[in-house]
Chains A and B, each alone.
Chain A
Amino acid sequence: MFQVFTDLADWLVFSVFNLSAQTKLGDALHFFVEDVSKIFVLLVVMIYVIALLRASLNIEAVRDYLAGKHRGIGYLLGSSFGAITPFCSCSSIPVFLGFTSAGIPVGITMAFLITSPLINEVAILLLMSLLGWKFTLIYILVGMTIGILGGFFLDAIKAERWLQSFAAQALKQGQQQLNDNHTPNEKLPSLQKLTLKERHQFAKSEAKDIFLRVWKWVFIGVGLGAALHGFVPAGWLQQHLGAGQWWSVPAAVFLGIPLYSNATGVIPVMESLLTNGLPIGTTLAFCMSTVAASFPEFILLKQVMQWRLLAVFFAMLLVAFTLVGWVFNFLTPYF
């Protein structure tokens, strides 16, 4: 199925540019052309098809469903909906406030908001086609677990104390309302009815939007991969940044903070790091930190959280990603 991209790279690099597969440059360029063309096609097709299917799932329905849910199941549901609900990070504040004013506990809202950037359907399909279902499954489980435990932890420390006062006020009113008419919503989120044309419109604009946002990351990711592939001796990464170096995981997490990308854009980077021998835990830690812990996100969250909560939240994510990295590096030999 992917042979066509290999052929394209063969033709472009060996015939048009007249480079030999034996040279480092030829090898690296071949890798670059093959991977970039493959990922671009996969991305556009997948985003379109998936957007077509999930055009009707909206955030309001998810909120109504989550309102009044018991906390235990709430974290799991919040995290699951975070994984499947389409949502752009510039909406995180309205979503936070919408959930909060419906009386949904901060922990459940944050379970949603932590999982949302980490897991989405496009990322899942891309992971499956580049890295296989086993790695994909691990990635989903880890992402959801961080969301669920993170939400649980924030409620356990009573994070709502440190909301900005208007948000705290909204939460109180929402919970009051929930208590007054206690009829938890048992129905699954109801879906909007959309015509095929509306779906196509939505899918087309999604594909364009996401592609324009991530194409440069694909370039950087695959470019990095090509450079490693052609110029860094095999095994060098493993030897110098391997599982034996405990500090490489926190270093990867910190390196990920100033870098900011969405999950779709960072997957090609993961692929190139993994195939060049960076341990799975270090790779996961780096990529999750890039996707979920970023300065723009924190500046947004500052509008609804006090510094104290923001600091706790930030620290919590960093610790979580570091632990994930260590645990996976430790467990890899036993897989």
Chain B
Amino acid sequence: MLRMTTLRCGLWLLAVASLPVAPAAAAPASAAHAARVHVIMIDKMQYGPMPTGVRAGDIIEWTNHDILEHSVTARDGSVDLDLKAGASGRFTVTAGSHTYFCKFHPTMTATLLVR
């Protein structure tokens, strides 16, 4: 009996471990809302236009097209994403108004609204 339980647990763990790994925060905010990926370009010392219709649980992907390193740093300290020239990075957003700046170039700012 113990052996059977151990085997079942082992199989369960194996099954869980084999699931595709996704960031915990990337889960949809609700069952009805599938997470979407929104891409924002960074170019010539500016964050590209902020996407509209972003919902909690969506993923924001930032791509740095500049020849310099930039960051996407949240004013509230919740995010600090460093992006070397040509690099991309992503994170999942929560509801609210989020203000980001580049810690290397403080004149670069953007505000993203998330429902």
Report if A and B associate in a common complex: no
B interface residues with partner A (beta carbon < 8 Å): none
